[in-house]
Amino acid sequence: EAQVTQNPRYLITVTGKKLTVTCSQNMNHEYMSWYRQDPGLGLRQIYYSMNVEVTDKGDVPEGYKVSRKEKRNFPLILESPSPNQTSLYFCASISRDSYNEQFFGPGTRLTVL
Amino acid sequence: TQLLEQSPQFLSIQEGENLTVYCNSSSVFSSLQWYRQEPGEGPVLLVTVVTGGEVKKLKRLTFQFGDARKDSSLHITAAQPGDTGLYLCAGVGGNQFYFGTGTSLTVIP
């Protein structure tokens, strides 16, 4: 079954404590992306990766890092989380063969106190 | 930032009614996607429109891409409670995606 997995699904942390949200896909897609979803703002792209070792900033990259060491994994790293990063985060794996269809993970709800 | 404005933001209708959701931008996109999102889940793709003026139908849902590839609409005929959800449009520009603000639809039985 084609799927995108994210972990953890829920996380409550404190300001400044480094954290990583993992994302993995089994569809062999080269293109992956991270979004945050906030009320009234929709989904905003944080970072994306067109292939292994290739990453680019999206619209809201400040305070985030990513890495793409292998095709299936695309972790999102918050080196020093702040309360304004409290949000719902989605990872997506994207098929270039079907007009960029995005397959989303189940989401990670992050609260930074 | 390329912004996509969706309207209305909230919509509550009775089962059997028709509705239209609009997605507008001042930017041109190579394609435009529509997603539906259920609470606690990620968005799921409904359709991608690629050509200006293109119309696609998915059962009771009709999607249209504007001639200038800046806007799109989603029309639902005879809405059903199962249509309830958050509808999102997303413009594709280069390698990036730009999502609209979303339309929360509730269909009352």
What percent of chain B stands above pLDDT 90?
Answer: 87
Find the mean pLDDT for residues A31-35.
97
What's the pLDDT band for B2 if we cut at 50, 70, 90? low
Mean pLDDT, all residues of chain A = 95
Half-sphere exposure of B32 (CA within 13 A, CB side): 31
Do A43 and A33 contact (CB within 8 A), yes or no? Answer: no
Q: Which residues of B touch A50 (CB under 8 A)?
A: 95
The pLDDT tens digits for A34-83 are 999 998 888 999 999 999 999 999 999 999 999 999 999 999 999 999 99
What's the pLDDT band for B3 if we cut at 50, 70, 90? confident
Residue A38 C-alpha, separation from nearest chain B C-alpha, in angstroms: 9
Query: What is the C-alpha to C-alpha distance for residues A100 and A80, in angstroms, rounded to an integer?
Result: 32
pLDDT at position B1 over 60: no
Among residues 60-89 of chain A, which lie with CB inside 8 Å of chain B? none
What φ, ψ does residue B71 adopt, rounded to 5°? Answer: -145, 165
Contact A105 B42 (CB under 8 A): yes
Interface test with B, best of A10, A100, A103 (most B CBs within 10 A): A100
Q: What is the CA radius of gyration of chain A?
A: 13
Residue A39 C-alpha, separation from nearest chain B C-alpha, in angstroms: 8
Q: Who among B4, B42, B95 is closest to A48 (CB)? A: B95
Residue A57 C-alpha, separation from nearest chain B C-alpha, in angstroms: 10
Taking alpha carbons only, the member of A19, A41, A44, A45 closest to residue A32 is A45
Which pLDDT value is given to residue B95? 85
Find the mean pLDDT for residues A1-26.
96
Q: Which residues of B touch A98 (CB under 8 A)?
A: 48
Q: Which residues of A touch B48 (CB under 8 A)?
A: 98-101
Residue A17 token pair: 């404590």
A95 to chain B, any CB pair closer than 8 A? The answer is no
> Is the CA virtual torsion B57, B104, A8, A36 positive or negative?
positive
A13 C-beta neighbours (distance < 10 Å), count: 16
Pairing between strand B71-76 and A101-104? Answer: unpaired
Find the mean pLDDT for residues B66-95.
94
